[in-house]
């Protein structure tokens, strides 16, 4: 499947930066979803277990790649922010993402690739809107 192929490609980043797949996934998630920056967001949207996310977040903090930021209005809420030290990891993830897209879109014309990009962006925006609507309900 597409997800397995992406995970297989992401394992290169894990090896290079001594990360677990979940740690790399969390870094990628935070990089791509700046407004979804709590452990609960990661659990909900990436469908990972609370325990796995908690363990990975703690490990990323120990590796100085991530920091916790208390919410100003709700003391129970903790935001997660990538530290500058995560830069090389996010660059590697970007390279893998580009390699992944080049692989799955091989043989597509430029027009077909552009159509894919537009459709994917629309799917992403629809999903984002639906998730935000669900939070307000």
Q: What are 7-24's pLDDT values in tens digits?
A: 999 999 999 999 999 999
Question: Token pair for residue 54?
Answer: 């908690």
Cα torsion through 100, 103, 104, 105, rounded to 10: 110
pLDDT at 109: 95
Question: Token pair for residue 36?
Answer: 């979804």
Q: Is the pLDDT of residue 134 over 80?
A: no
Q: Is the pLDDT of residue 136 over 60?
A: no
CA distance 7 to 22: 10
Fold of 2-104: Arc Repressor Mutant, subunit A (1.10.10)
pTM: 0.82
Q: What's the pLDDT band for 1 if we cut at 50, 70, 90? A: confident
With beta carbons less than 8 A apart as the criterion, state whether 80 and 69 touch: yes
What is the rounded average pLDDT for all residues in the chain? 91
Q: SS3 for 1?
A: coil
Structure-model confidence comparison of residues 76 and 82, the more confident one? 82
Q: Is the pLDDT of residue 135 over 90?
A: no
């Amino acid at each position: 499947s597409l997800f397995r192929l992406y995970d297989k490609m992401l394992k290169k980043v894990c090896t290079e930066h001594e990360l677990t797949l979940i740690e790399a996934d969390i870094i990628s998630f935070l990089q791509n979803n700046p407004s979804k920056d709590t452990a609960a967001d990661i659990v909900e949207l990436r469908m990972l277990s609370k325990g796995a996310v908690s363990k990975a977040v703690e490990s990323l903090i120990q590796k100085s790649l991530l920091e916790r930021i208390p919410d100003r209005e709700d003391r129970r809420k903790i935001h997660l922010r990538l530290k500058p030290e995560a830069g090389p990891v996010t660059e590697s993830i970007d390279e893998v993402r580009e390699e992944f897209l080049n692989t799955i879109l091989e043989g597509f014309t430029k027009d077909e690739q552009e159509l894919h990009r537009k459709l994917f962006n629309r799917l992403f925006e629809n999903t984002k809107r639906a998730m935000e609507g669900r939070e307000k309900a």
